[in-house]
Every structure is written in structure tokens, then in C-alpha cells.
Amino acid sequence: MYDCIIIGKGPAGISGAIYISRSNLKVLVIGKDDTALKKAHLIENYYGFENPITGEELFEIGIKQAEKQNIEIKNDEVIDIKWNDNFFTVITVNAEYEAKTILLATGKSRNSANINGLKEFEGRGISYCAICDGFFYKNKKIAVIGSGEYALHEAEILKNISDDVTIFTNGRELPQNRSIEVTNYIEGKIDAIKGKEKASKIVLEDNTEYKVDGIFIAEGTASSVDFAKKLGIFLDNNNIKVDENMQTNIPGIYAAGDCTGGLLQISKAVYDGAKSGLSIAKKVKNI
Ligand SMILES: Cc1cc2nc3c(=O)[nH]c(=O)nc-3n(C[C@H](O)[C@H](O)[C@H](O)COP(=O)(O)OP(=O)(O)OC[C@H]3O[C@@H](n4cnc5c(N)ncnc54)[C@H](O)[C@@H]3O)c2cc1C
């Protein structure tokens, strides 16, 4: 059991890990390599670098610094987080881990899928959480829109509710070495979601129509907003809401960096990581 699992290995996650580990606690960082930081071409406004540094270089320095302090880092994708009375289970594509606390440092949430009709039918046949809303579609015709491991995982949950679950990849390919095998998928690009009172069909660009009772959106990698919706974490304009200790409304779940909104800069992500790391140490040690 870890004292804390941090999701994200950008500046917020690594800064949090350093403070937690230096408080003598057991911390695990799970993240993918696609951070906002790596997209930064040249950074000239972050303290301590006489000459501009690329985001890629700064990212590597942060990872090396953490590794030198014996912080455990896993390159993996988190697809679910579960709350079990007094600890959390973090489910990745490859494994499951348990922790007393969670730090969400997943970066800025991407925009939702840009599909005609999606916004119009949100909450009326369109959902973002299989485990929360799947039951409403027991034995019904269910569609999952997405093409990554996260979509496969959501479809797997829904298969316990209905035998009729189809993944719509919206023009993309499913992962080559996928962790879950699927046979029921449609690769055509989606033109629109249509319906009357509620969403009732998916129309592809080639005009093929598929009748559906419920649609679940699981695009790309699960974001802070996806985790928030599953766990009941309060959001403010798609940013995770935190208190003065960086804790969300769910005790034990903290958030730091771009996913909490405000100044989308490295200095703020590093501050958030430090602040949340110290708050987590206090919570775990009960001080
Ligand atoms: C083009 C560009 C230029 C920029 N230039 C500057 C600049 O000059 N100066 C400056 O201060 N800031 C700059 N920024 C902003 C800066 O990069 C961000 O503010 C900073 O990286 C935020 O850190 P973070 O740790 O919150 O998120 P990120 O750096 O985005 O890291 C998020 C981490 O979470 C991981 N993750 C997300 N979801 C999952 C999941 N489901 N499972 C596992 N891992 C997951 C990601 O893979 C990543 O490791 C720039 C950003 C961009 C895009």
C-alpha cells in the first residue's frame, strides 16, 4: 500500500512526489510521456535557467531528479480510480495499485469530442461514466465513442450490463497491442449524434445510421474531468476545485497543476505540487 499515488509526471506530479518522498512516505508516480511541458519549445520565464531550455529537456531533468531521490515512477496509463472505504485502488492498463491518498496532476483537460449533437444531448442519452450511468442502459443498445485503452475499459464495464456494446472509434484505429480484445467496433468517422427527446442514433459521414439507447464518451486518455465525474469531485469550469490545502471535496484526493486551472505555467504547477505534497504528508501522518 502506497501512502500516495500521483497521476501525472509533469512538473506538478514530480514536485509533489519530491515533497512526499522527503517526508519519508511511500509514493508512486504513474504517468505517460505526453505532458504539456514537452510541447514547450523554449522556456525563458522559469527561474534558474540562464539560457533558454526546451520543455523536453526540463521534463527529463525533473524525472532524473526524482529517480535520484529513489522515487518510483511507472510509465503507464491510468484508466480508473476506485474508492474502497479507507483506501483507493488505481487501475492502469497493466496493473492495479493501492494507496491511502491520490494526487491528480494530469494536466489541462482536453476538450471533449467535437461531434455535432454531443453538447445538445449531454445527460439525455450521453454519459461520461460507465460505472455511474451504465445501469440506466441495462440490456439496451450501448455505444462507446473513443479509440484508446480508456474506451476499451469503459466498454468492458458496460458488457456486464448489456450484450450489445459497440465501440465507435470515430475514424481512428484501436491500439495495436491492446490489453482488452474487442470484436464489436466501427471505425467510420462520425458526422453527428441525432435524436428527439434524447440521443437515439449515431450517423457516420458515409450516412450509415446506427440506432442506440445510450452513448458513453471515452475519448483519448482519461482526464482529470473524467476521474472527477466518476468519483464525484467538484469541478469549476472543467477545472478541479481544491481547497487551500489542494484537497478536493473527496477526502484523500488532492489535485495540482494545470488540472486545477488558474495560471497555466510551470512555476504554478511546481508550487501546487509542493503545497499538495506537504498537505498529503500531514494527512497521512495525522498532524
Ligand atoms: C506549447 C506550450 C508552451 C508552453 N510554454 C511555457 C513556458 O514557456 N513557460 C511556462 O511556465 N509554461 C509553459 N507552458 C505551460 C506548462 O507546460 C504547463 O503549465 C505545465 O507543464 C503544467 O504541468 P502539469 O504537471 O500540471 O501538467 P503536464 O505537464 O501536462 O503533465 C500532465 C501529466 O499527466 C499525465 N496524464 C494525464 N492523464 C493521465 C492518465 N490517465 N494516466 C496516466 N498519466 C496521465 C500526462 O501524461 C503527464 O505526464 C507551455 C505549454 C505549452 C502547451
Q: Ligand 1 centroid to 146 CA: how many Å?
A: 22
CA 30 to ligand 1 centroid distance, Å:
14
pTM of the model: 0.90
Q: Which of 258, 260, 272 to mutate to test the pocket of ligand 1 (most atoms within 8 A of CB)?
A: 258
Statement: residue 57 has pLDDT above 90: yes
Q: Alpha-carbon Rg of the chain, whole angstroms?
A: 20
Measuring CA to CA, which residue among 168, 170, 166 is closest to residue 184?
A: 166
pLDDT of residue 111: 56
At 110 the pLDDT is 64
Question: What's the distance, Cα to Cα, between the start and end of the chain in Å?
Answer: 20
Chain centroid offset of residue 21 CA: 23
Euclidean distance between CA atoms 251 and 241, whole angstroms: 13
- Residue of the CA atom closest to atom 33 of ligand 1: 8
CA distances in angstroms from 9 to 12, 52, 86, 106, listed in the order given = 7, 22, 25, 8
- Residue 110 has which C-alpha cell? 482536453
Q: Residue 287: how many CB atoms within 10 A of its CB? A: 6
- pLDDT tens-digit readout, 88-135: 999 999 999 999 999 999 999 765 678 999 989 988 999 988 988 899
- 183 by Cβ neighbours in 10 Å (0-12 / 13-18 / 19+) ranks as exposed
Instruction: Domain 118-217: give its CATH architecture.
Output: 3-Layer(bba) Sandwich (3.50)
**C-alpha atoms less than 13 angstroms from C-alpha of 202 in its C-beta half-sphere:** 27
Q: Which protein residue has the closest C-alpha to ligand 1 atom 8?
A: 43
Torsion of CA 155, 157, 160, 163, to 10 degrees: 0
CATH of domain 2-110+222-285: 3.50.50.60
Closest residue CA from atom 21 of ligand 1: 37
Predicted pLDDT at 112 = 66
Query: Which residue type does 254 have?
Result: Y
Q: Nearest C-alpha to atom 10 of ligand 1 is from which residue?
A: 265
Residue ID of nearest Cα to ligand 1 atom 38: 106
Cβ neighbourhood burial of 265 (10 Å; 0-12, 13-18, 19+): middle
Residue range 230-285, pLDDT digits in tens: 899 999 988 999 999 999 999 999 999 999 999 999 999 999 999 999 999 999 99
Q: Which atom belonging to ligand 1 lies closest to the Cα atom of 273?
A: 25
Closest C-alpha residue for ligand 1 atom 37: 106
Q: Which residues of 250-260 are buried (b: 16+ CB within 10 A; e: fewer)?
A: bebbbbbbbbb
Hunting for cell 450484450 — which residue is that?
A: 163
* Tens of pLDDT, residues 156-182: 999 999 999 999 999 999 998 888 989
Percent of the chain with pLDDT over 90: 83
266-285 helix and 11-21 helix, angle to the nearest 10 degrees: 30
Ligand 1 atom with least separation from CA of 263: 19
Å from CA of 258 to ligand 1 middle: 7
pLDDT at 140 exceeding the cut of 60: yes
| Residue-level pLDDT at 74 | 98
Residues with CB under 6 A from ligand 1: 7-13, 30-32, 34-37, 39-40, 43, 45-46, 55, 77-78, 105-107, 221-223, 257-258, 264-267, 269
Nearest CA to ligand 1 atom 39: 106
CA of 93 to the centre of ligand 1 (A): 21
* In the chain, domain spans: 2-110+222-285, 118-217
Domains 2-110+222-285 and 118-217 share a fold: yes
For ligand 1, atom 14, which residue shows the shortest CA distance? 265
pLDDT at 179: 86
Neighbouring CB atoms inside 10 A of 264's CB total 12
